[in-house]
Amino acid sequence: MTPEEFRAALAKRGVELSDEQMQQFQTYYEFLVATNEHVNLTAITKQEEVYLKHFYDSLLPALEVKDIQTRALSICDVGAGAGFPSIPLKIAFPNLKVTIVDSLNKRIKFLEELSQKLNLTDTHFYHARAEEFAGKKSEFRESFDVVTARAVARLSVLSEFCLPLAKLNGRFIALKAQKANEELADAKYAVATLGGKIEEDIQTALPKSDETRHIIVISKKKPTPNKYPRKPGTPAKQPLQAPQGRK
């Protein structure tokens, strides 16, 4: 997907990017590739693949959940890596207030510098483990309208990272690929335990490649019990599962 095809594909979905926004995406691409030579940010570096598999892919939540395009929502991106999906969302929809948390300081430094290069406002970056960032004494706990995550962990694990950060009646939106159905079935107990309810599994596809994507929308119906998230490392090692005999 060339930059021109990227712009046209979004226009077909009702999202018109200005010349300034297109330049921001180009600057993002150039800085990503340059930094990637000495900091491992992505295995995808060809321009056409970055525009399709990183930039367009990151915008799928807003294409499917339309209020992201227009409301001044606070979004927390957990384990954003090189800034996906939250930085492309912020470029396309400047109304968003973005907070990024990542466990690797090199990535946070890249994102801080990127934000300056792109002249982004209302963006905040934190070097922390998700379990600590969402802990019971954290100022960030249950404070975000939307929490996102892409390619971080299985949904049962991700839910423990993300749902504690979503405010009551907020949403956790997970970006998933082919194994979404299996992950959803496996995560039902964890989602319910953490105060969430699975609302939608929106199946879509990337243009040109037709690769399947799932936008999973989980609403926050009840406060997350204080004992979650558990200490760093535990959710990944011991994902929340229903006791034997229960589903």
Q: Is 14 annotated as a binding residue?
A: no
Distance CA 130, CA 164 (A): 10
The torsion region of residue 233 among left (phi > 0), alpha (psi -120 to 50) and beta comes to left
Do residues 239 and 139 make contact, with C-beta atoms less than 8 angstroms apart? no
Do residues 170 and 162 make contact, with C-beta atoms less than 8 angstroms apart? no
Q: Is 55 annotated as a binding residue?
A: no
Q: Detail the DSSP E strand segments found in the chain.
A: 74-78, 97-102, 123-127, 144-150, 166-176, 196-205, 212-220
Q: Parallel, antiparallel, or unpaired for β 144-150 and 97-102?
A: unpaired
Is the dihedral angle over the CA atoms 185, 130, 143, 106 positive or is it negative? negative
Cα maximum dimension of the chain: 58
Distance CA 52, CA 66 (A): 20
SS3 label, residue 85: coil
Q: Is 170 annotated as a binding residue?
A: no
Q: Is 130 annotated as a binding residue?
A: yes
**Residues 6+ positions from 179 with CB-CB distance below 8 Å:** none
Q: Is 177 annotated as a binding residue?
A: no
Give the residue numbers of the binding site for S-adenosyl-L-methionine: 79, 84, 130-131, 150
Give the residue numbers of the binding site: 79, 84, 130-131, 150
